[in-house]
Amino acid sequence: MFDAAAAANLIASLKIMGLGMGGIFAVMLIIMGVVALLGRFGADEEEPSGKSQG
């Protein structure tokens, strides 16, 4: 059913797919880290609300 060339192509495609999934996971971790840092350092500043207090 599968010959050696098909098996080699399958292994190569699985390696490429694994690299792509690893890259997506790495980017997700980077984005989560940036958002956490922005939340930590941006929380000290108070933003003016658009509502009038009078």
Predicted TM-score (pTM) of the model is 0.64
Reported as a single tens digit per residue, the pLDDT across 5-29 is 999 999 999 999 999 999 999 999 9
* Token representation of residue 14: 């699985």
Tokens of 32: 């989560």
pLDDT at position 50: 65
Taking residues 29-34, what's their average pLDDT? 98
